[in-house]
Structures are given as structure tokens and as C-alpha cells.
Amino acid sequence: MTPISEEILQVEDLNKSFGRLAACRDISFSLHRGEVLGIVGESGSGKSTLLKCLAGMHAPDRGSVTISVSGDRRSLWNMDEAEREQLLPSMLSLIHQNPRDGLRLDVSAGGNISEPLMTSGERHYGSLRSVALDWLRNVEIDPGRIDDLPKTFSGGMQQRLQIARSLVTHPQLVLMDEPTGGLDVSVQAKLLDLLRRLVREFNLAAVLVTHDLGVARLLSDRLMVMQAGRVIETGLTDRVLEDPRQAYTQLLVSSVLQV
């Protein structure tokens, strides 16, 4: 019998509206260590709003987001703002679609990787530089570029650097917002291979928001389909994509809808 892995994330009855627009309605799911949950749906389906509620960027109107931190279950939105800001870096990390949103462009590659560690208390220069060098190798960037600025990197290299910065603190939960969006197909393929390797190597619990069903198929263990703020179908990725039950999911899979 396969052992049940640790539950990292639990979302219960999450609701979020903007005026009369119900962006997320009655959403509940859980996520375990080593598992990647893909969230798909057309533009306006609510998937990006849901991700921002998980990332501590949008407070839900109702419902809860609970994250396990070293076995200690913490309710994200029951904390006060100061506590949330202190704990978020160790709880979760967000990989933005545009790497420039997740990097400091005026700081060296090594400095970008080291900064989250410094925020958590590490101050030894030699240790910080050693970890930065290791992570450059992890994301397949030449360690000789440790002192280069991110603005001198290609888009694909910037995204790899952002991934290193996001994972260096070993967060419990990784949120990925269209991580391959805007990249050339060949660059996308290499980045997807990298993400698959890191997910396995570090046994990550991850939530992936994407409009690309090919990306969802490659990275996700389970798939959640959203429409008009609701989850309308969920299941193992291969099952959802090969045998969709809902008409909307069938349209997504057949590429009739522009997502």
C-alpha cells in the first residue's frame, strides 16, 4: 500500500467577489506533499484570483486556507498582517509568469538567490554565496554568472533564476502562475523539464495555474477545471484530459474555447 503523504494545503469553502462579480465560489480542495495540482479554465474563470488568495495577496470573503508548516497547521487568513508577512516566506513561494515581477533587476544573480535567506536570518557571506552557486547549478545557469545582473539574462534564464530564488528557502508550498508563458517553444520545453525534475527532487507540493493544457498534462498529477468562479470538474490529469465529463471541459480539451 502506498503511504499517504503529508497534507500541505487545505482550502475550505473559499469565496471571493469583486463588487457583483463572484470570482471564486465555494471552492474546496486539499494538496499533499509531492503533488502538483493544475488549475485550468478560460480567462475570467477565477483561477488567477484563487491563486492570489492562496498567495496571501487577496483576502477571501469567506472560507479558509490552511498551510502545514513543519507539521504545524496555520490558517493563512486568521493571522494578523504582521504574522502573515513574517511566515509567508517559509510557508509558500510564488513563481510569476513574468520573471521580472519576481526578481530584483538591479541586484546580481547571486544576490537575488541569497536575499530570501538573508531575510530569514542567514548572514554569513561564504555560506550565502555557496548556496547561490549550488542553486545556479540546480536551475542550469552557469555559476560563473553569479555576479551578473538579471537584465543581462535571456527570458528563459530570468525565469530559471526566479525559480532558484523561489525555492532556495524550501517553502512548503509552491504556486506557479503560467510559468512558461511568453517563452519560445524550445525554451518552454527545457523549462518544463527543469520544473519536473525539481518537483521530484524536492518533493514539492505545488499549484499550477495555466491556460496551456499541454503544460498541465506534463506537470500536474491532478487537474481542477474552473468556470465562472466554480470548480466544475476535478480528477487525475490523464482522466480529465482523455475522458472529460463536463461539456465545458470537453470544449477546453478540443480547443474550441480560447483560454
Distances (CA, A) of 5 to 9, 28, 198, 200: 12, 19, 18, 14
Give the alpha-carbon dihedral of 182, 138, 51, 70, to 10 degrees.
180
| DSSP states along 79-130 | S-HHHHHHHHHHHEEEE-SSGGGSS-TTS-HHHHHHHHHHHTT---HHHHHH
With a CB cutoff of 8 Å and minimum separation 6, the contacts of 53 are 14, 16, 24, 59, 60, 65
Look at residue 4 in the predicted model and tell me its pLDDT. Answer: 61
Closest CA to 199 of 50, 58, 47, 33: 33
Look at residue 2 in the predicted model and tell me its pLDDT. Answer: 44
Give 168-200 pLDDT, tens digit per residue.
Answer: 999 989 999 999 988 888 899 999 999 999 999
The answer to whether residues 37 and 224 touch, using CB atoms and an 8 Å cutoff, is yes
Give 225-254 pLDDT, tens digit per residue.
Answer: 999 999 999 999 999 999 999 999 999 998
Closest CA to 138 of 219, 218, 198: 198
| Segment holding 22, helix H or strand E | strand 21-32
Residues making up the chain, counted from first to last? 259
State how far the Cα of 205 lies from the Cα of 33, in Å rounded to an integer.
5
Give 94-130 pLDDT, tens digit per residue.
Answer: 999 999 999 999 999 999 999 999 887 778 889 999 9
Q: How confident is the model at residue 53 (pLDDT cuts 50, 70, 90)?
A: very high
With a CB cutoff of 8 Å and minimum separation 6, the contacts of 190 are 140, 156
Q: How confident is the model at residue 72 (pLDDT cuts 50, 70, 90)?
A: confident
Tell me the pTM: 0.93
Closest CA to 94 of 122, 68, 116, 123: 116
Taking each helix axis as running N to C, give the angle between helix 155-167 and helix 185-201, from 0 to 180 degrees, rounded to the nearest 10.
10
Q: Which residue has the cell 548556496?
A: 131
The answer to whether residues 92 and 173 touch, using CB atoms and an 8 Å cutoff, is yes
User: In this structure, what C-alpha cell is assigned to residue 204?
Assistant: 514539492
The answer to whether residues 211 and 40 touch, using CB atoms and an 8 Å cutoff, is yes
CATH class, 7-102+172-253 region: alpha beta
